[in-house]
Structure 1
């Protein structure tokens, strides 16, 4: 009988997925992501793609990420580039790759002068890689197992995939469950406009497909339904496990599945194949399983204790048996991580320990030291001293190269060791807190830090620093702000011997935009910090405190702060100071945005985000991105705001300062579109549900948006209730500089409900509250409030409304300027309807241009109700089979499941008109029903 094949000669059950990849390759520039669990067939699908004639014209470059990677950025991509053939001259920037790609040195220009700023150096490298790929003709760059990539490799790939050259296809494979946060690139990714993108999700095979795969592997036309069902049951439909199961069957009776033990199916299969190897071959395989990454013949022999003269024969046996595979450049390992784990599991505990000891000894002399591998082998060899030394070195190295997630993971694992000395616990606990404070990993570091507070080995000063860092983590988590303040206050008391650290805690306690604590309490802390800064000679400490203090004072409208912003240098040579400066600039930008200094906000935000590059402070970068989203809301830059904000929310959903601000913007956009359910859902996450644990100015704006929402929905009583809740928080806080959105909404709601006296009182409070404050947005709000009061009292309102609009225009408040223009036009309906109708039509166009479809529909409804003949629509553009703007609004609401009546209410249309729009939308989109459209 012919023995079964080791794999299927044909691809089974992946026709649609292969077709999707072929379409992506044909549509350069393009990006393809292949996602699936271990053994599901990602690599097989890629191999099948590479065999297709459609791919032949492309230069294929392949890189592999390894599970025990060294903290060396960009490794997989650089490995892929080593065989690249470039065409034509290259710019000087590509010279930065010459030391990294010696195989291409003779084709690359001399390296340019190394820039002083590390972020420029990294940008040069990214540009160089992109240009190299651009000069190589049509290229398919394949990076496998991206879930094991270092952060640098992810950043480089994200750079390429965000703006790929026109000749490039990037294809990556990864396991979602093993990728950081479930995202292969570390952050959410969607292809930009003009780039073909596809995500291919591979799932296990069903029963029929397992039968087809089995028949193909065994070389028969078909297998019985019982055989396929049994095999599917025992393998869960994972193709690799099916292959391994069939490979392990006895040659004479390969159909007798019950002869193979379960549930340790793959381990048994590999054990059977190992048994066929000579002793030296098994030793080589065991060494490969312990090393975990492809290794050289010499290293495998040393770890496996195989004499050098017998190593080649042993390795050949392992390769011919299919236990090991060659991975290029004379490196040998397993075809799949599952196979490696299966062989590893065949070893007894003493055997594993002895092999890890040999691996540790063999790798000690390697230069540069592979600290990640040394750390893992030290831990598994049971050498606590070596594990501590190598693990800490690996974590420190990861942090140096901008990989905080790996550093956090290693520090946490080290701190789980019960044998650590008190000094080791102190040092590692402090390091973990420091890296976690600047990262975005929230819950795992929090658990470890909370446990450490009960560890008796922790000294009092270290305990204070651990508690301080825990407080810094808690303050950015939902429902944890109150607890965070308590922890920071306790830390300040414990850090009597570390006044610099204690002062950092006081600076955070002085930040006024956290929770519902009255401003007076924050000011008490701020005065102490200001006094300390004046006498501080340490630049790093001073900038770390200024990073909080400048933003805190500026956010409450302190007029003196703008004169002090030049105390921040443009950059710094050391990374730690640059981190503080990045945070300072981003905090100042956020504060400027809150009070209405929008141009300044953009300037400082640009500086801050540039300083975050390569500084290893993803949390600071995330807050800067949310500030940018908020700025775009104010300026009316709404074109791509919803998808951009949605991606950031998906990425930073666990970070209170970021997620609440993005939820606010998405809620405001939904109100402007009339998406009531979506608006309520997002605004509920802006802090309005738990003001004690909120970012206060965000929550205040959330109450403002809810007030507008209920006014638009015709429920002024509910609108007033939301305004009352927001004003209660504002009055408790005492920062009237943050009333820029809430005050006009509240006055509008009060006037609509006949509560003119309450509106008048609010205007007086706002006027007094900002009298000595530098708060341009609140000044505009005060003008708007006075104009709205004039309308309610039936006084002359056009002039105050025009004055308010001029003020809004000066700040660049595109949406609020349009809202005020609508109010001005409404005032003119009584005296000069023709001019007012024309003005309303223009305002409707402005709303449409922004994307505020509900507001535009309201203006056009007012035009129709004015009883004035409007100009003929003849000459306006026809849309043919494309959706008109109004049909796009209808399609969006249809896709959200709204009825015709609900759509009519949102867009101020008659049900009959909506019915006609719906019919055209379905026809133009080529669907036959609402259900099909939603799908």
Structure 2
């Protein structure tokens, strides 16, 4: 029976290789012009040479070229000379070029018999070919002539695959064609495996010699980047979408080799998520098994040593095992390097497998006891002679060897030491891996060894140092306990973005703790759990915060209490800030200073500064932010520094200082990535960089940044932020379908619904709805927000929302379905606006736009309203919303008949909209220019007044009458036509009368029908 679901391993989507396909396509174009092209395509096995060739074949055939592919044979190749050329010609003969091939071979049959022994019908009558010293030269020359004649009428693409297996005769014929064909419409391709070309391989000098020729182009296919692997997996696993974790795991194991990606995807589909499938392991091991036994032994030891092993360390391990002496080791290494299984490291100090999966296959093939014994020898050799490994790797390597040797007593001290060093380098993910190993082995560590584990350098200063939490503690609390490891692992999980793992640690710790005896530690773990859960909808982090505060009621001030108070203030800052949050943050800072918790103090002051800014107290807030930034830069607290960059960049963008926001976010992104914080703060700082880029119209750079985001794990809580920004880019580019898709992703269930998130998302939803003419939906978005009440501290978003809502009401002013409730909506907009801050130039500009939009919604807006709005926004860096104000100003001027002023305002608006990349606004400006007869071309305007419309169609309709007819066909009244075309109702009536007469109809409905039937107006 066939399986119910077919599993595919080859991605149906061709991934990457854009530059290589471009090079091949350009070569084909040059060949079409009579310039023969030669391309040599190299790459390791599985990197996609054949797939690239297949895709190019389809493209070439679509352009009318004939393509034939032949391959060199691995087995018996020297006994089958010219095998790929014989295959090529046989395929050409069996295709549409068959008759032409037979005709071109006339007169050359005897020499071509070596390539065409069974395809020319008259070969039996051809004179026998003499085997003198010139026979080979005749064969080469006649083959070249054959291809020249075949390419006289069409372009020919000939490909020879696997040149690394080629025989000498094939190579020489290939080179002869390259050197002698100068006028043929021919593309000659050759592919080869770079990993099969060992130092003495005959193809290495051959390729180098060919590359010296001017007509030869050499392409080396690199492995795929992680985002390309993600796309490949999406194609293979469709319709299911691979998770970021699966993409990262397969990319790490495959190292971007497309074939290995496919095999690992199949392994995943078959449920083999940890190891390798038997077929893939056999494929990887087959070349190693052909090597001498001494070389295989060395490779097994090398594989157990890690991704790279220093020569001295490898020699020490093999010598301690009594397996290979120094000379034997050199011979084994030379054999393995020559076979392209391993290669020297870039520093020349050691060796590594050419591909990680080969090492993994060799390592998996080791017997369990064999692997344990080899790792113990590595650990003992390194302990005996530490300089065998560089100092920066020593602790981690030693910890890894003892862990794999399954010696808990020696492994746990080693992994704890390695964890400390990883954290000092801000390598939090590596620290977490070490702590996980310590937790795994903890129960197997003898008590006497545990008692020696002391002075663990804690990552969180608020974590209580004593497990009993009593003032009169007389116990020896210096030794590390299991609860201490769980605390360190919790912090490392948070800083590396591993939220779920952090929750597991806190859950385990709270089960172990007695909250009455150890209230401070219990409060600390409750706080840690609340921090992990604060972005998870459906969770109750506030219950944990409240419970932690209750545990500390009536107790002495502590760093834990200060951190709890700060977290309350910070959560309020992110959701619905109130004045009491200022007091809470201030109290947290005072307690932190009192107990000497410097990090908590700076975090609390940072939150305090942001809260002051949120309440419009910009001078006080800015001073605090600058002070904390200076102190953060001098500290090694990466958590604090990431918060500073995140909040400062957001603060500048909210105040309309987009260029400054970009500078801060760029610096922050670089620092966060360099210090291993991408999983914790990388997503939001990337968004904070993309957002001001969008504001300034740098859409391509913003889109590229957002496309890079899946390359490293970011907080899931901020994925809606990324989707909203992608939606804004699509909206500005006029792609409303894609914008709607991103909007839906931003609103997926589970998204955190904080005002800083849902206000911009709602604004995007309103703009999309308005652009699609769904005014009722746009109004409903606003009503939903108003029902929930206005959260303080988010004034920029509210100004934009209210102005957009008023614009929706103005655009829908003539729609009967929108008339009901309009007055109430406008009144509520005014009521909310009355409570917003106006102390920032951007806010004052939005306030002027809102005032003008409200007047437009009521039919009273004039030039003065929009002039005031445009002037209020004139000093801002961002094109929007000034381009909107200028568009409305142009409309107002056009309505008063001031065409010159209207054209000037429209041109200025168009320039800003172009700078912003706003395709929808540019489209609206073009429509305005067409309806109001404005000029968007400054040169044309300076040349003089526009000429009268003289164009007449078969019905003698003037261009203006065609404009009127279009609106008439849409059912507009004379007054509505007048408003849209900026003419008087009387003039509109005259135009309608003229149209009815010219079309020889009696009514508006009949005129509309004629217009549609005869396509006198656009179908849409």
* Structure 2: gaps of 5 or more residues: 1-13, 28-41, 51-161, 163-190, 213-217, 227-243, 264-275, 451-478, 813-817, 943-969, 971-979, 981-1010
CA apart distance, 1:685: 4.2
Aligned residue for 1:430? 487
CA apart distance, 1:739: 1.0
Change (3 A) 1:403 1:349: same
CA apart distance, 1:777: 3.8
Change (3 A) 1:851 1:185: farther
1:800 partnered with 2:824: no
Pairing 1:40-189 to 2, within 5 Å after superposition? 45=194, 51=204, 180=248
Aligned residue for 1:856? 922
Q: Aligned to 2:377, which of 355, 358, 367?
A: 358
Q: Work out the CA distance in 2 between the residues paired with 1:684 and 1:205.
A: 31
Does the aligned pair in 2 maintain the 1:357–1:381 contact within 8 Å? yes
Q: Work out the CA distance in 2 between the residues paired with 1:551 and 1:186.
A: 44
CA RMSD after TM alignment: 5.4
Structure with higher Rg: it is: 2
Q: Aligned to 2:892, which of 803, 812, 827?
A: 827
CA apart distance, 1:364: 0.9
1:656 partnered with 2:717: yes
Aligned residue for 1:510? 569
CA apart distance, 1:721: 0.6
Aligned residue for 1:647? 708
Aligned residue for 1:865? 931
Aligned residue for 1:717? 776
Please give the TM-score of this superposition, normalised by the length of structure 2. 0.57
CA apart distance, 1:716: 1.2
Aligned residue for 2:266? none
CA apart distance, 1:816: 0.8
Q: Aligned to 2:697, which of 626, 636, 644?
A: 636
Does the aligned pair in 2 maintain the 1:808–1:816 contact within 8 Å? yes
For residue 416 of structure 2, give the secondary structure of its aligned residue in structure 1: helix
For residue 674 of structure 1, give the secondary structure of its aligned residue in structure 2: coil
Does the aligned pair in 2 maintain the 1:21–1:49 contact within 8 Å? no
Does the aligned pair in 1 maintain the 2:524–2:548 contact within 8 Å? yes
Aligned residue for 1:390? 414
CA apart distance, 1:719: 0.7
Q: Work out the CA distance in 2 between the residues paired with 1:685 and 1:750.
A: 27
Q: Aligned to 2:879, which of 814, 838, 841?
A: 814
CA apart distance, 1:819: 0.8
Change (3 A) 1:203 1:413: closer
1:555 partnered with 2:614: yes
1:291 partnered with 2:310: no
Aligned residue for 1:847? 913
For residue 416 of structure 1, give the secondary structure of its aligned residue in structure 2: helix
CA apart distance, 1:597: 5.2
Q: Work out the CA distance in 2 between the residues paired with 1:456 and 1:653.
A: 31
Q: Aligned to 2:404, which of 360, 380, 388?
A: 380
CA apart distance, 1:290: 3.4
CA apart distance, 1:801: 2.1
Q: Work out the CA distance in 2 between the residues paired with 1:837 and 1:448.
A: 66
Q: Work out the CA distance in 2 between the residues paired with 1:656 and 1:868.
A: 48
Does the aligned pair in 2 maintain the 1:287–1:304 contact within 8 Å? no
Q: Work out the CA distance in 2 between the residues paired with 1:339 and 1:838.
A: 68
CA apart distance, 1:815: 1.9
Does the aligned pair in 1 maintain the 2:428–2:496 contact within 8 Å? yes
For residue 813 of structure 1, give the secondary structure of its aligned residue in structure 2: coil
1:680 partnered with 2:694: no
Deviation track 1:820-878 (CA, whole Å, cap 9, x = no partner) reads 111111122221152335543553343234221122112212222236799799999xx
CA apart distance, 1:462: 4.3
CA apart distance, 1:814: 0.8
Q: Work out the CA distance in 2 between the residues paired with 1:797 and 1:33.
A: 67
1:665 partnered with 2:713: no
Does the aligned pair in 1 maintain the 2:558–2:595 contact within 8 Å? no
Does the aligned pair in 1 maintain the 2:43–2:193 contact within 8 Å? no
CA apart distance, 1:277: 4.1
Q: Work out the CA distance in 2 between the residues paired with 1:682 and 1:143.
A: 32
Change (3 A) 1:746 1:762: same
Change (3 A) 1:334 1:583: closer
Pairing 1:183-198 to 2, within 5 Å after superposition? none
* Structure 1: gaps of 5 or more residues: 1-13, 60-138, 148-175, 188-198, 207-233, 248-268, 877-903, 918-935
Paired residues in the alignment total 692
Change (3 A) 1:847 1:462: same
Aligned residue for 1:623? 684
Q: Aligned to 1:743, which of 788, 799, 802?
A: 802
Change (3 A) 1:52 1:821: farther
Q: Aligned to 2:432, which of 404, 408, 418?
A: 408
Aligned residue for 1:927? none
Pairing 1:312-351 to 2, within 5 Å after superposition? 312-313=327-328, 316=331, 327=344, 331=350, 337=356, 340-341=359-360, 344-345=363-364, 347-351=366-370
Does the aligned pair in 1 maintain the 2:224–2:258 contact within 8 Å? no
Does the aligned pair in 2 maintain the 1:726–1:742 contact within 8 Å? no
